[in-house]
Amino acid sequence: MSLNFFEERPKVAKRQQHKRIANKVVKKEKFKSIFERFIEHKQKQNLRPGTLNKFVIVYKSIEKYHATVSNRPLYLENITTDFISDYAYWLKFDCIKFEGHKYTPEHAQTPGMSDATVETRIINLKTFINWCMKENLIQVNPFDRYEGFKKDAQEIDILTREELNNLLKVAKSHSNKSFKQYRDYVLLHLLIDGMFRITEALTLAPSDIDHVNKSIIVRSNNAKSRKARTVPLSNKTYRLLVQLLEENEAFEGEVDDIIFLSLSGRMLSKNNVLRDLRKYAKEAKIEKRFYLHLIRHSAATHYLETGDIESLRKILGHSDLRTVLIYAHMADNTVQEKHANHGFFGKENITSRKRDNKRK
């Protein structure tokens, strides 16, 4: 029998200290919440709703694409170089245009976005990724290895001077039938003469007319560049605007403080303006695809045939001269004419000499 002390409980091995990870475990934040913070940041920069909506469209299309390839939540780390390339490919060939849009017929909801749309969405996604880099949300920019989306240069078929004149003639022939048609004629005259963006023209107020200098002041809050500018007018356009203001006085009750009023005294819709001007374009036998910005582009191109690029820049409201160069593409006949005059063998470079056609 042993005389050792009795143990009340059996011995247990000494517990070892738990090993812990040096860095804290951080719960991953979903792509949606980060994008919401990005949109909030852009709102603080006072971006306009149209610009903010473009970012929202990018977010929705990325979520939609991700749902086609995975049923897992989308995180920022999922936006890799390969993800961007596959996303661009999906936009170009598989994404349905106007899907679910209640005003677009089903036959128009076809797969594949235009090159310009794909490029725009990739650019806006890059803006978001650059913001993430500045916020230290990611360490490596996936766009560093992205080779880009190559698109064909778009050839813009402008309206000729004859086509613009025919369009004006048709609008003028209808202008004495009603207030609405006279208003549309004045608007068309202004768009051609001042080369305004349609939104700038539709938001003009009577006080924006400089009656002394016969010009229009585009306020900074209505200009795309957010910089005010003064646009000169021809005498005829100025007279038409003054007559339209007199017509506007026939409205009873409260109306919007703008020049181009709808029949209800409110601002015109761009879609309604496009619809009406397309009817005039069809009557003028214009077979080219007609859209509102085509008027500005055509008038600016014809301006460059005789005017200088710097004055055009000021009229159009571009801050960078390089942006104006997109209007520098000229009609073939203009190029041929300038080559005939200024080329090495052009009229202005011919040296008078007697021709000797005799062979020796």
Question: Which domains does the chain show, CATH number per domain?
Answer: 31-144 (1.10.150), 161-288 (1.10.443.10)
Mean confidence (pLDDT) of the chain: 86
Q: Which two tokens stand for residue 144?
A: 């560093």
Quick one: pLDDT at residue 109?
A: 84
pLDDT tier for residue 2 given thresholds of 50, 70 and 90: low
Residue written as tokens 């006072």? Answer: 46
pLDDT tier for residue 253 given thresholds of 50, 70 and 90: confident
Residue written as tokens 């940041």? Answer: 41
Quick one: pLDDT at residue 245?
A: 96
Q: Which long-range contacts (CB under 8 A, 24 or more apart) does 262-267 make?
A: 263/179, 263/180, 267/202, 267/203
Quick one: pLDDT at residue 345?
A: 63
Return d(Cα 112, Cα 97) in angstroms, integer.
7
SS3 (DSSP) at 10: coil
Please provide residue 197's backbone torsions phi and psi, each rounded to the nearest 5 degrees. Answer: -70, 150
pLDDT per position as a tens digit, 132-146: 999 999 999 999 999
Q: Is the pLDDT of residue 103 over 80?
A: no
Please provide residue 341's backbone torsions phi and psi, each rounded to the nearest 5 degrees. Answer: -90, -40
Pick the closest to residue 315 from 249, 241, 254, 231 (CA basis): 231
Rg (CA), the chain: 32
Half-sphere exposure of 179 (CA within 13 A, CB side): 15
pLDDT per position as a tens digit, 146-199: 998 887 766 678 899 999 999 999 999 999 999 999 999 999 999 999 999 999
314 and 321 in contact (C-beta within 8 Å)? no
Q: How many CB atoms lie within 10 A of CB 347?
A: 9
pLDDT per position as a tens digit, 216-238: 999 988 888 888 999 999 999 99
The better pLDDT of the pair 118, 320 is held by 118
Quick one: pLDDT at residue 292?
A: 94
pLDDT tier for residue 331 given thresholds of 50, 70 and 90: very low
pLDDT per position as a tens digit, 261-316: 999 999 999 999 999 999 999 999 999 999 999 999 999 988 888 778 888 889 98
Lowest mean pLDDT among 4-18, 39-53, 304-318: 4-18
pLDDT tier for residue 95 given thresholds of 50, 70 and 90: very high
Cα dihedral value 22, 27, 31, 36, nearest 10 = -110
